[in-house]
Amino acid sequence: MRFSIVIFILVLFISSCGEEGMVSYVSADIDKMIGEKVKEQIENNPNQFRILDEDDYPKAYERLIHIKIEILNSGFVKHKNDFTWELKIVDDTSVLNAFCVPGGYIYVYTGLIKYLDSEDQLAGVMGHEIAHADLRHSTRQLIQNYGISLLIKFIFGYDEGGLINIAANLAGLKFSRSHESEADIQSVKYLYHTPYDARGVKGFFEKLNKENKNPQIVEFLSTHPEPDNRIQKIDDEFKLLGGKKGKMFTKEYIELKRSLN
């Protein structure tokens, strides 16, 4: 009975202020609760999410955690001290992607790491995904996709019938163009205050454009807005911040990729 009342109140709340407005008024603890549940789903599905053990790949994890810490210490991550910001590498060379679950659980695919050319590009993509969680885009999108009542059942463990498997769909979660653009801009802001070149995510998009006939890239672009306009906005933000060039860390990135072999 108590659980039904909680759902009823939340449904009334979201209907009165809308999905976007709802997230603004709900505690970030909700994001952490969602993240913990999604983490459980991922850990219980090793066939789809083969997580590399940190003890077996210490160099790769050391470098990715270094990137994560640089971003978190940029001074622009709003929920730096609220979320977990746990990082895992998913072993799947066929996937050019990364995603960040509400609450700060970061997942980076080996396919993306091996595809990119320099560490600033990976930092740019990680910054973009961190921004989706930090700006709570992921939570908004999950509410839109599943509805608040089903999502609350998932959070509190009442999804006994397995009605939703959020983890299985997060890698291909489709954000609005405005949210994608906002995450791009935020990535530039994060990286601008680190040693990395702030246009790292632009390098990723430029590489996609050059190789857009690759089947992996076609699949990626099917769930992401076209890069062209986004590249221009990234450049504009970079110039607005002052145009300070950062480092690409290409040599370090070669070593990172080798450590995954």
In a domain, 1, yes or no: no
Single pTM value for the model: 0.86
In a domain, 62, yes or no: yes
In a domain, 151, yes or no: no
Instruction: Read off the pLDDT of residues 177-230 as tens digits, 9 standing for 90 and up.
Output: 899 999 999 999 999 999 999 999 999 999 988 876 565 654 555 555 566 788
In a domain, 239, yes or no: yes
In a domain, 238, yes or no: yes
Instruction: Read off the pLDDT of residues 22-58 as tens digits, 9 standing for 90 and up.
Output: 566 567 888 998 899 889 989 999 999 999 999 999 9
- Residue numbers of the domain that contains 194: 27-146+163-258
8 A C-beta contact, residue 37 and residue 155: yes
In a domain, 5, yes or no: no
pLDDT higher for 229 or 63? 63
User: DSSP 3-state assignment of 51?
Assistant: strand
Total number of domains in the chain: 1
Residue 108: other Cβ atoms inside 10 A = 24
- Partners of residue 105 on adjacent β-strands: 101
How is residue 17 written in tokens?
């202020």
Residue 12 has pLDDT above 50, yes or no: no
In a domain, 246, yes or no: yes
Identify the weakest region by mean pLDDT among 2-16, 102-116, 167-181. 2-16
Q: Distance from first CA to last CA of the chain, Å, rounded?
A: 53
In a domain, 152, yes or no: no
**Tokens 């050019």 sit at which residue?**
96
Residue 126 has pLDDT above 60, yes or no: yes
8 A C-beta contact, residue 259 and residue 113: no
